Amino acid sequence: MSRIGFIGTGHIAAPIARLLARKGHEIFVTERNASVSAALKAEINATVSDPQSVIDQSEIVFLCLRPQIAAEVLGPLTFGSEHRIVSVMAAVSEEELRSLCAPAADFVQTIPLGFLEQGGCPMAAYGNDQLLADLLAPENPVVKVASEASLNAHFAICAMVPGILDLLATGSEWLADQTGDADGAEFYTTQLMAGFLATMNKGQAGRLAAERDALATDGTLSLQMTQALQTDKAHQALRDALTAIGKRLET
């Protein structure tokens, strides 16, 4: 088992720390978010320390800071060549990480979402993907990517999740307006989507389109829905948003 530290303790770091603690690792966290770090101390016996102490006590260090403060927080800290680094910070490049964490040279950059604690969260990995797999698989599948550009594209797709949730919330609200039952409407909407996706074969390109076409046949309500979304340029809006996010991650 390893000694694992977290620089930055928030909504991404906490579920990772809990999962790793269940796997038997020793956890060290900073007090950047006092309420979260206190909860982790109570829940998983995490050691709460200042950032340099966390680094000094750890073999593997997760960097879970907001990108805009990464240089400010990491700049004064000292890493060792023995440290292995996992960065979950969007738009902080490999070049910047190597500069901020020198002489550490063993890196992996990835994109976790909070539900990884329950498993089933795909982890795009640029760099030492085996390090990530050793820590978080098999509960969460690790998907190796070949470049930072590919990693950033996966970051953009992750941003699609709240967009889809926003659409589901609108649909649920519409259903509640029709039925007068907001709780039932949200339960039905979420279970409908979760149940359908759970039945799909994983990892087959074209499967999403094939499932769409199997439902949206001539004269069906499903075809009316897909045609309306195409006509109102919802798909183009999604592509435009993903492209804009991708460009933002390049800067």
Q: Is the pLDDT of residue 166 over 90?
A: yes
Do 206 and 136 have their domain in common? no
At 52 the pLDDT is: 97
Asked if the structure places residue 152 within a domain, the reply is no
Do 214 and 92 have their domain in common? no
Mean pLDDT, rounded, for 69-86: 96
Do 141 and 173 have their domain in common? no
Residue ending a domain, among 115, 145, 175, is 145
Q: What is the CA radius of gyration of the chain?
A: 21
* 164: containing domain: 160-250
The predicted model scores a pTM of 0.85
Asked if 17 contacts 38 with a C-beta cutoff of 8 angstroms, the reply is no
d(CA 30, CA 48): 6
Do 109 and 201 have their domain in common? no
User: Which helix H or strand E contains 110, and what residues bound it?
Assistant: strand 106-110
At 170 the pLDDT is: 97
At 203 the pLDDT is: 66
Do 204 and 176 have their domain in common? yes
Asked if 88 contacts 66 with a C-beta cutoff of 8 angstroms, the reply is no
Asked if the structure places residue 154 within a domain, the reply is no
Do 141 and 164 have their domain in common? no
Do 201 and 122 have their domain in common? no
Pairing of strands 60-63, 123-127: unpaired
Asked if the structure places residue 42 within a domain, the reply is yes
Q: Is the pLDDT of residue 192 over 80?
A: yes
Asked if 137 contacts 19 with a C-beta cutoff of 8 angstroms, the reply is no
Do 131 and 21 have their domain in common? yes
At 242 the pLDDT is: 94
Number of structural domains found in the chain: 2
Give residue-wise pLDDT tens across range 49-63. Answer: 999 999 999 999 999
d(CA 35, CA 38): 5
Question: Any idea what the CATH number is for the domain that residue 101 is in?
Answer: 3.40.50.720
Do 168 and 60 have their domain in common? no
Q: Is the pLDDT of residue 202 over 90?
A: no
Do 44 and 90 have their domain in common? yes
What percent of the chain shows pLDDT beyond 90? 85
Tokens of 116: 């990884």
pLDDT band at 247 (very low <50, low <70, confident <90, very high): confident
Give residue-wise pLDDT tens across range 122-157. Answer: 999 999 999 999 999 999 999 999 999 999 999 899
Mean pLDDT, rounded, for 23-35: 91
d(CA 175, CA 184): 9
